[in-house]
Structure 1
Amino acid sequence: MTVPPQPPAQYPAAVPPPPPSGRWQPERVDAMPGTDFGLVQLRVEPITSGLAIGSLLAGIGSILVSMLVVCFGLAGASEGWGGWVAGAFTLLSVAAGGGAVAIGVVSRRQIRRSGQTGQVRFTGAGLGMAGIVCGSIGAGIALLSLALTLVLQISV
């Protein structure tokens, strides 16, 4: 039994062009001197800064924990344990608020320095500022609530 000869392998089809959605669009084309070629630099789409998002989440967490300081401080002021519990949650709220402020400042610096040609451009400066504000407010509420709890506990 003989095997019939196979036709020669065909070359693969040409590489398809990029999708028409425009994901990869040239930002500029630089001619290469002395050749018929050019160098294409593609546009890089902006990305929301993860640091800015983290700053906002930490700031919101700081505000939520500061509400626990208020609740536990007022509930336990007359029984003597409110100051201890409020103090523990105050430390957590101030740590989260301070982290939110620090990360917010770093994210705004990252956003300001990004966006040069050919590099990733970060967005989210407003998120970073909101994280700074929420972190400051959360830490402030926690400290004021602790002071109120200690005053109430001492006066009772």
Structure 2
Amino acid sequence: MTQDAQPSPDDAPARAGQPSPNAAPPPAAGGYPTAPPPTWHADPAPAGMSAGRQPWPTPSPAPVPPPPADAVRRTTRVDPVPGTPFGVVQLAVPPVVAGTAVGALVAGIGSILVALLVALFGLLGARDGWGALAGGAFAVPSALAGLAAVLLGVIGRRQVNRPAPPPAVRFTGRGLAVAGIGCGAAGLGVTVLAFAAALIASLA
């Protein structure tokens, strides 16, 4: 007794007049068969990550190495840059001589030198009558230089005494500022005395 063969699922659509899903597509009009559509397969997720799109873990920044021991300048602080193996190094800034202190000393010495010219020309020209005029011409720049020396010396002392924590620049030159103030005051005094002497000698 024979048994009838059971129809396969692939044959059922064919018998119903529909093409089988596994069958090749019919040839094109030119007579050449078309290639089947490509099949996409999802790549497996890497180890330690679940399927789907997930960001990779951010690696922790490497520790910043210490500065070399033979560095030219002393290092005050090292700030690491997040996400990178680099760091920002803050170097110790050497102290700088205040320019106002140097200017005060130069102006004070110049005031004294010009004051000596006031006395020289004032006394030499006292008999001829032009001593007071020449002394007054030199007395004006001498007095201005003396005043500038005193003002610059005061400003220089304030800059030196101002606290400057790192990494700010620290100023030095307190002695120069004090010397500039003294020279400026001396130049003013010599200028006044020399011009007064030249004026009295011209009028006598």
TM superposition score normalised by structure 1 = 0.78
Q: State which drifts further: 37-46 or 115-124.
A: 37-46
- Corresponding residue number in structure 1 for 2:126: 77
Tell me the amino acid that sits aligned with residue 192 of structure 2: L
Matched, 1:65 2:114: yes
Instruction: Give 1:24 deviation, angstroms.
Output: 2.1
How big is each residue's C-alpha offset from its partner over 1:18-51, in whole Å with a ceiling of 9 and x where there is no partner?
794x43211245789xxx9876432110011111
Verify the 8 A CA contact 1:18 1:24 in the aligned structure 2.
Answer: no
What is aligned with 2:190?
141
CA distance in 2, matches of 1:123, 1:106: 12
Aligned twin of 1:104:
153
2:186 counterpart of 1:128:
no
Q: Higher relative CO (CA 8 A, sep ≥ 6), structure 1 or 2?
A: 1
1:79 aligned counterpart, secondary structure: coil
Higher-Rg structure is: 2
More helix by share: 1
For the residue of structure 1 that corresponds to 2:129, the secondary structure is: coil
In 2, Cα distance between the equivalents of 1:39 and 1:90?
56
| Superposition deviation, residue 114 in structure 1 | 4.6
Over 4 Å off, 4+ runs: 28-32, 36-40
Are 2:145 and 1:90 equivalent residues in the alignment? no
Q: Secondary structure at the match of 1:77?
A: coil
Q: TM-score, normalised by structure 2?
A: 0.60
Identical amino acids, percent of aligned pairs: 48
| Structure 2: segments with no counterpart, 5+ residues | 1-66
Q: Which amino acid aligns with 2:159?
A: Q
Distance 2:139 2:98 in 1: 28
Q: Distance in 1 between matches of 2:115 and 2:69?
A: 50
CA gap of 1:62–1:19, structure 2 versus 1, over 3 A, is: farther
**Alignment RMSD (CA, Å):** 2.6
Q: Deviations over 1:81-117 (max 9, x none)?
A: 0001101111110000000101111111111115322
| Deviation (angstroms), 1:78 | 0.7
